[in-house]
């Protein structure tokens, strides 16, 4: 009983201290926030030890203490839970980072009730700061979306893209500079490279609003690292129809700019654009694909994108030393992969020259007659697995493509002593780093040392830039809520604890796709935000996600619009 009393008192103290935190921190003209998506403490250890061994004798039996750029700037750590789960997704966490509120997993720029909330980027825009988003995911992925859009579900990619560029945002265009992937969401469905379901041409619309549009490396290079005549805001550069390449693949192809090149270009452009202004800029940078490699349990891709993240941190520090009216903070939205380093020796990763994503692409498009030779001579060497026994090669050749990639992940990870507890996110705290020059740095360290809830970080930035998140929320809600796209919900079938198969995913999507524009029975089914009243309409069906349950995403109408006397078309079954 005594321990229970002490525990309850401690919990009350923690909750009170978080709610009461305020800052009298230094002011700054510019703020850089960097999100290494899916990056946990073990991720940094893996990268640090890898670089240290390469630079200090390559002998894991005689390791040398070493620090990467992020190690030198540690302030504390950050809690990541969402409003409805101890394990957050990127949308809920990015909404916390951008808006300072807790919300449910999948929510983008809305609170737990689904109402829009202002973002720190929007607040900066309304206060006449210049703003930018630089990512390596699709530009309308969860993290950048939460700074620039408001939808009830992160899978509303078309709506997010339209809001980000200002086409359907109630505040108009709030982002001056956008770099990333996701070209297909900006092209009308008539374009062969489009993934939109309508005829909206966001690239053409952006050009009409004065945006410079870039879709390839050649056009990016004309910016001359942000110092050329072409580097005039506003502009948007999307360099892949889908996600941008992993760094390990990008260096082989060189058809896309690196994250560091995009950051350098963005900072130079923003600095020039605000040279004669009292207000500076807010820039959000995301090393997006660290997370994707964690989901894929791909240690080499994870490693190289982490090294790139540290290069970006180092560049940001040098930039701030030369521009001391700037502050920088960085924390991940969550950890991904449940990475552990039992029996760790990263040196075998040196022989890996391609991500599992690239390996899968090459293997799936091979149409030659000698699959064994292609596997042994091409696929395995680029995976760092040359010299496998004939028995292992035979085993790999007997597998379906997706199973082969999973086996390669295990073989690469085992060789390096890298182990994954999940293909999803974990609940661990993430590291907070930050930097300011001179007295601003001292004040930053004094203000932000310690353990923080993720909702507190934008409140600190709000204070530093003297902007007003509440005012933005009020302005958004003054426009009503009809502009917020309707909720995308999840349809789930149990798989009796067994790992779901791709065939299960296809079957579920086929069943739900048949329900498009039809009424389905959903009695007893609860969505993340609300109970749907008996019936709903499936508007569209997207892709599956894999975990302990098999899930497909469907876009729902407002239940109030549904004829509840209609006969149910489909009853969702658990199996």
Catalytic residues: 90
Q: Return the H-helix or E-strand segment holding 50.
A: helix 41-55
| φ, ψ (nearest 5 deg) of residue 446 | -65, -35
* Listed residue (120, 110, 57) closest to 472, CA to CA: 120
User: What CA–CA distance (Å, rounded) separates 148 from 164?
Assistant: 5
User: What CA–CA distance (Å, rounded) separates 38 from 49?
Assistant: 19
Burial class (CB in 10 A: 0-12, 13-18, 19+), 6: exposed
Q: Cβ distance 515 to 574 under 8 Å?
A: no
Q: Which residues of 166-198 are buried (b: 16+ CB within 10 A; e: fewer)?
A: bbbbbbebbbbbbbbbbbbbbbeeeeeebbbee
For the record, the structure tokens of 139 come out as: 């530009």
Helix locations, 332-481, DSSP H? 356-365, 371-374, 380-382, 390-397, 401-416, 438-448, 456-465, 469-478
User: What CA–CA distance (Å, rounded) separates 547 from 378?
Assistant: 31
Distance between first and last Cα of the chain: 43
Q: Cβ distance 461 to 331 under 8 Å?
A: no
Helix locations, 425-571, DSSP H? 438-448, 456-465, 469-478, 502-513
User: What CA–CA distance (Å, rounded) separates 417 from 391?
Assistant: 22
For the record, the structure tokens of 329 come out as: 């903070």
Pairing of strands 335-336, 450-453: unpaired
Residue 374 CA, chain-centre distance (Å), reads 34
| φ, ψ (nearest 5 deg) of residue 542 | -110, -145
């Amino acid at each position: 009983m005594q321990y229970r009393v002490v525990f309850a008192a401690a919990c009350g103290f923690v909750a009170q201290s978080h709610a009461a935190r305020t800052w009298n921190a230094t002011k700054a003209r510019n703020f850089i926030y960097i999100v290494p998506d899916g990056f946990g403490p073990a991720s940094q250890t893996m990268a640090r030890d890898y670089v240290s061994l390469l630079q200090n004798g390559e002998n894991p039996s005689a390791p040398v203490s070493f620090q990467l750029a992020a190690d030198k700037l540690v302030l504390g750590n950050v809690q990541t839970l969402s409003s409805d789960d101890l394990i957050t997704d990127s949308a809920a966490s990015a909404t916390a980072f951008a808006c300072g509120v807790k919300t449910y997993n999948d929510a983008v720029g809305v609170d737990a009730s689904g109402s829009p909330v202002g973002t720190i980027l929007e607040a900066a825009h309304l206060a006449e700061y210049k703003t930018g988003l630089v990512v390596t995911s699709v530009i309308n992925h969860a993290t950048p979306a939460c700074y620039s859009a408001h939808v009830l579900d992160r899978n509303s990619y078309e709506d997010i893209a339209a809001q980000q560029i200002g086409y359907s945002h109630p505040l108009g265009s709030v982002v001056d500079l956008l770099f990333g992937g996701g070209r297909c969401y900006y092209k009308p469905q008539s374009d062969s490279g489009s993934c939109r379901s309508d005829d909206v041409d966001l690239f053409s619309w952006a050009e009409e609003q004065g945006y410079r549009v870039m879709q390839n490396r050649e056009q990016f290079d004309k910016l001359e690292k942000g110092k050329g005549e072409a580097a005039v805001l506003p502009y948007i550069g999307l360099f892949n129809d889908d996600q941008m390449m992993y760094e390990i693949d990008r260096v082989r192809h060189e058809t896309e700019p690196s994250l560091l090149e995009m950051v350098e270009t963005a900072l130079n452009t923003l600095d020039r654009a605000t040279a004669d202004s009292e207000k500076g800029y807010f820039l959000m940078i995301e090393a997006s694909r660290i997370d994707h490699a964690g989901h894929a349990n791909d240690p080499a891709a994870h490693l190289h994108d982490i090294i790139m993240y540290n290069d970006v941190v180092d560049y940001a520090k040098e930039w701030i030393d030369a521009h001391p009216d700037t502050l920088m903070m960085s924390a991940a939205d969550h950890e991904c992969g449940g990475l552990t380093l039992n029996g760790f020796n990263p040196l075998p990763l040196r022989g890996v020259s391609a991500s599992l994503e690239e390996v899968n692409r090459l293997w799936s498009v091979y149409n030659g007659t000698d699959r064994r030779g292609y596997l042994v001579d091409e696929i395995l060497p680029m995976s760092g697995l040359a010299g496998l026994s004939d028995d292992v090669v035979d085993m790999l050749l007997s597998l379906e493509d997706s199973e082969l990639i999973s086996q390669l992940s295990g073989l690469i990870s085992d060789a390096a002593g890298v182990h994954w507890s999940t293909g999803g996110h974990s609940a661990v705290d993430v590291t907070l780093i930050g930097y300011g020059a001179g007295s601003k740095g001292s004040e930053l360290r004094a203000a932000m040392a310690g353990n923080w809830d993720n909702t507190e970080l934008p409140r600190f930035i709000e204070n530093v830039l003297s902007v007003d998140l509440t005012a933005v929320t009020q302005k958004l809600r003054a426009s009503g809520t009809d502009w917020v796209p309707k909720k995308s919900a999840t349809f789930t079938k149990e798989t009796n604890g067994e790992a779901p198969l791709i065939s299960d995913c296809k079957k579920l999507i086929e069943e739900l796709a048949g329900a498009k524009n039809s009424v389905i029975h959903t009695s007893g089914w609860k969505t993340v935000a609300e109970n749907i009243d008996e019936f709903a309409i499936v508007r569209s069906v997207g892709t599956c996600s894999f975990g302990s349950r098999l899930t497909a995403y469907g876009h729902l109408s407002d239940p109030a619009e549904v004829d509840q006397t209609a006969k149910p078309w489909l009853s969702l079954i658990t199996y």
